[in-house]
Structure 1
């Protein structure tokens, strides 16, 4: 079982822990226009899924920018950011970010992703900071549940995992 803290306080994670080697669980999240997006919508690509508590915080903003600037330059890799922010807040951030191809999706409606990947922070109804790399065959090849929710993930390891995935 994954143990995380947020600002030093222990947090209960709800949902199913995902490990490297697992088949990637399906999920449904919302795009900024409220349309549904599923894992199957990106079939055939390597996905680097960057999970953040809230796009309106410094670490989450930096994490979203770093993965989109670095990993989006790797052939056949799609960078996806998921949070429980409302789609409207995400849309505002995307417009102000200056990132042209950023994909930021909301799990606010039913926490489908959070439950499927074990990142639902019960006490906060936010998603725990984490990173998942899923190959083009929907196999999970890399997982990082960040131990302290206000810390950065290991960008280098995640980007290397995305490069290595087929």
Structure 2
């Protein structure tokens, strides 16, 4: 389990992030049109998994905006923004913000993605939500980079994450 903080107060996740060099586990997440999508649906593309607690927070919203801007320049790469927000809220946010370069996916049905990737928050006021994580996968679904943001209110290290795509 990872030890992270929420405004300086220690909380924990349910496990550890996938190891670099390992094949990412498949997932079943919900798109804004309520259809299901899995890892195999993105085969052949590099993936940035931008994972966070909720779009209803400033830091999470900022990360989606940042990656949306970056995604416009990323060739052969898709940016998946994953949370437990309802797909309706994700679609409303992206529509209101004019964000068209990222794909929002929801883990609201079972939370299995958060558990399988070891990033679900286990305790504290955000228990059950996802911690702030960036995972990069190559075209074959192999993990090439992970970043567990140690303080939930902090943004990820965008530059480091995007450099991992090179």
Please give the range of the TM-score, normalised by the shorter of the 2 chains: over 0.9
d(CA) in 2 for partners of 1:80, 1:72: 13
Runs of 4 or more consecutive aligned structure 1 residues displaced over 6 Å after TM superposition: none
Q: Does 1:149 align with 2:152?
A: yes
Match of 2:82 in 1: 82
In structure 1, distance between residues paired with 2:15 and 2:115: 4
Query: Separation in 1 of the partners of 2:162 and 2:36?
Result: 27
Deviations 1:131-162 (A, max 9, x none): 00000011100000000111111000101112
Relative to structure 1, the CA distance from residue 72 to residue 113 in structure 2 (aligned partners, 3 Å threshold; closer, same or farther) is farther
- Aligned equivalents of 2:15, 2:28: Cα separation in 1: 15
- Counterpart secondary structure, 1:121: coil
Cα-Cα RMSD: 1.3
Paired residue secondary structure (1:62): helix
Residues 112-146 of structure 1 deviation map (CA, whole Å, 9 limit, x = unaligned)? 21012111112321100000000001110000000
> Which consecutive residues of structure 1, in runs of 5 or more, have no partner in the other structure?
none
- 1:111 corresponds to which residue? 111
Which protein is richer in helix relative to its size? Answer: 1
Say how many residue pairs are matched.
Answer: 163
**Alignment partners' CA distance in 1, 2:2 and 2:121:** 12
